[in-house]
Amino acid sequence: MPLFANERGQGSPSRPRLAFIINSLTAGGAERALVTLLASLSSRLTPFEVHLVLLDEEPQLHRVPGFVTVHVLDCRGSIATSVIRLRRLLRSLDPELALSFINRSNYANVVAAIGTDRGCVISQRNHTSRYFPRNAEGMVHRALVRWLYPRADAVIAVSDGVAEDLVACFGAPRERMSVIHNVTGREDIERAAEEPPGVDLPARYLVAIGALVPGKGFDLLVRALPLLPTAHDLVILGEGPERENLAALVAELGFSGRVRMPGHLRNPYPVLKGAEALVAASYSEGYPNVLVEALALGRPVVSTDCPAGPAEILEGHASEGAPALGRYGVLSPMGDFRALAEAIGLALAEPNRARFSALGPGRATELGDRATEEYWRVIEAHLRMKRRSAEPAHALSSAEAPGGPAGT
């Protein structure tokens, strides 16, 4: 029998179904990573009927490949509504495997799989211990992760640090854990970078990209500006609740002419391509896509050595109290704007600048290609195991013993 043969209803054949689940397709690294993954797997997904489930009705800022059917559930951020509506939809679609991204989608996916023979794979995108606030809401999320994640057939962590945190702090079974970085489409990034930027840009500038929230550390970038060895402006792309506070800080420091915040751009790559360097000052990440995107465009990268992801991407670690050169960029201690300014100076100084620009595109290709293959291996392995578990034991030869996904 073919691996992916499937029959439904009154014996009428149909293509096997796969479901991918995420909260929405608003701005964000996980959202962009999912649509890039779908596009990169397009040839392998030809035998399947592919469904994308969006839990919330939000503006869709990422283009979904044409072979994918999109369902919008309008759960409005509610965990309970997400569980109820997703379970109802998946009961109707009857996919062989459901793969979810982001916490609420993961919770709903696991609960919806209870009592079914459907494969359940979840992908964790953040460093869980650091991501949730130390309040009642954070306690609920931590409890849900601890209760539900061990019940998934497989857990995909976006970086080694995320995986170790899930195993050590939340009881996720190591034997069902895979570490797979985000898929990054280098050719698509290069093509998009050739478009006009759509905003006015200074002659020489650094760029930072992300949601305007405290955890991204944009205030550190602003405070680092006067300490740079050469004068650069700063362009911050993104929107969020910290906009007013950042604007007030810029005005207080007298940098209104040097810091620009044009908001969220559907295509940030022309701005990224024209920058002297990308700078990220986060206190916590899962796997920051923007670092890989900057590498793809040959831009020097400076990042805080936060958990988790930057050290894996750039292959290095900051020294205690001082920045340090990684193989593919510069890493700086968290929360230290003076060290961050020093790190930016290191990245822009020769021969570091030329070396990073030369090595970056190849590194981005390596990370993206590897991730596509690893995602497909996990999908294929769990489809195979589900298919075999549904067959009589005597139908399996000893040579067909199921194998699991690659471990950490």
**How far from chain centre, in Å, is Cα 113?**
24
Q: Is 115 left (phi over 0), alpha (psi -120 to 50) or beta?
A: left
Segment 143-169 mean pLDDT = 95
pLDDT of residue 29: 82
**Total number of residues shown for the chain:** 408
Is the predicted pLDDT of residue 107 greater than 90, yes or no?
A: yes
Beta pairing class for 12-13 and 17-22: unpaired
Task: Name the pLDDT band for 399 (thresholds 50, 70, 90).
Answer: very low
pLDDT of residue 369: 85
Taking the C-alpha atoms of residue 30 and residue 51, their distance in angstroms, rounded to an integer, is 17
pLDDT of residue 9: 35
Taking the C-alpha atoms of residue 385 and residue 407, their distance in angstroms, rounded to an integer, is 16
The predicted-structure confidence for 268-316, as pLDDT tens digits, reads as follows 999 999 999 999 999 999 899 999 999 999 999 999 999 889 999 999 9
The full DSSP string for 239-256 is -STTHHHHHHHHHHTT-T
Which pTM does this prediction carry? Answer: 0.83
Mean pLDDT of the residues in the chain: 90
Is the predicted pLDDT of residue 5 greater than 90, yes or no?
A: no
Rg of the chain in Å (alpha carbons)? 22
With beta carbons less than 8 A apart as the criterion, state whether 5 and 36 touch.
Answer: no
Segment 223-245 mean pLDDT = 94
pLDDT of residue 391: 66
Q: Which residue has the higher pLDDT, 156 or 389?
A: 156
The burial class, CB within 10 Å (0-12 / 13-18 / 19+), for 143 is: exposed
pLDDT over 90, % of the chain? 78
Q: Which residue has the higher pLDDT, 130 or 353?
A: 353
Look up residue 40 and give its amino acid.
Answer: S
Closest CA relative to residue 359, chosen from 390, 314, 406? 314
Domains of the chain, earliest start first? 7-179 (3.40.50.2000), 186-362 (3.40.50.2000)
Closest CA relative to residue 229, chosen from 334, 356, 344, 357? 344
The predicted-structure confidence for 10-53, as pLDDT tens digits, reads as follows 333 478 999 999 999 998 888 989 999 999 999 999 999 999 99
Closest CA relative to residue 170, chosen from 150, 152, 146, 151? 146
Taking the C-alpha atoms of residue 280 and residue 289, their distance in angstroms, rounded to an integer, is 11
Buried b (16+ CB within 10 A) or exposed e, 228-241: beeebbbbbbbebe
Taking the C-alpha atoms of residue 294 and residue 291, their distance in angstroms, rounded to an integer, is 5
Taking the C-alpha atoms of residue 19 and residue 308, their distance in angstroms, rounded to an integer, is 28
Taking the C-alpha atoms of residue 35 and residue 373, their distance in angstroms, rounded to an integer, is 16
With beta carbons less than 8 A apart as the criterion, state whether 82 and 343 touch.
Answer: no
Cα atoms in the 13 Å half-sphere on the side-chain side of 391? 20
DSSP-derived letter for residue 62 is S
Taking the C-alpha atoms of residue 156 and residue 289, their distance in angstroms, rounded to an integer, is 16
Torsion from C-alpha of 364, 370, 374, 375, nearest 10 degrees: 40
Taking the C-alpha atoms of residue 368 and residue 185, their distance in angstroms, rounded to an integer, is 7
Taking the C-alpha atoms of residue 96 and residue 358, their distance in angstroms, rounded to an integer, is 43
